[in-house]
Amino acid sequence: MRFGYLKGAISVWLVALLVISVMVAARPLKRTVTPTYHQASRDWAERKTLYEGTSGMHYLPPFVALYAPFEWLPLPVSEVAWRWLGTAMIAGGLWRICRRCSKTRELHQRDFFFVTLLSLPLCLPAIRNGQANATMAGLFLLATACLMEKRTWSTALCLGLAVAVKPLGVAAVGLAVAVSPSLILPCIVATTGVLLLPYATAPAAYVTAQYQAAWLNLRECAVISENRFADLNGIIRAFGTELNGTAGLVLRALAGLAMFLLCVAWVRRQSDPERSLSWFGYSTLYLMIFNPMTEANSYVILAPGFALAAVLAWNRGFRAVGYFWAAAVLSMGLLPNLVRPWFGNSFALVWHPIMALLLLGWLTVAVVSRRESVPSPQ
> Which letter does DSSP use for residue 271 in this model?
P
Residue 86 lies in a domain: yes
Task: Say what percent of the chain tops pLDDT 70.
Answer: 94
- Burial call 64-91: b when 16+ CB within 10 Å, e when fewer: bbbbeebbeeeeeebbbebbeebbebbb
Q: Give the count of domains, the chain.
A: 1
Residue 374 lies in a domain: no
Residue 114 lies in a domain: yes
55: phi then psi, degrees, rounded to nearest 5? -105, 165
* pLDDT band (50, 70, 90) for residue 92: very high
Alpha helices in 240-318 (DSSP H): 245-265, 274-290, 303-316
Residue 80 lies in a domain: yes
Q: Are 330 and 121 in contact (CB under 8 A)?
A: yes
The span from the CA of 38 to the CA of 19, in Å, is 23
Residue 220 lies in a domain: yes
Residue 252 lies in a domain: yes
Q: How does the average pLDDT of the chain come out, rounded?
A: 92
pLDDT tens string 153-208: 999 999 999 999 999 899 999 999 999 999 999 999 999 999 999 999 999 999 99
* pLDDT band (50, 70, 90) for residue 209: very high
DSSP, collapsed to helix, strand or coil, labels residue 52 as: strand
pLDDT at 259: 97
Residue 13 lies in a domain: yes
* pLDDT band (50, 70, 90) for residue 258: very high
Residue 95 lies in a domain: yes
Q: Is the pLDDT of residue 270 over 50?
A: yes
Domain residue limits at 249: 5-368
pLDDT tens string 287-299: 999 998 899 999 9
Q: Is the pLDDT of residue 373 over 50?
A: no
* pLDDT band (50, 70, 90) for residue 377: very low
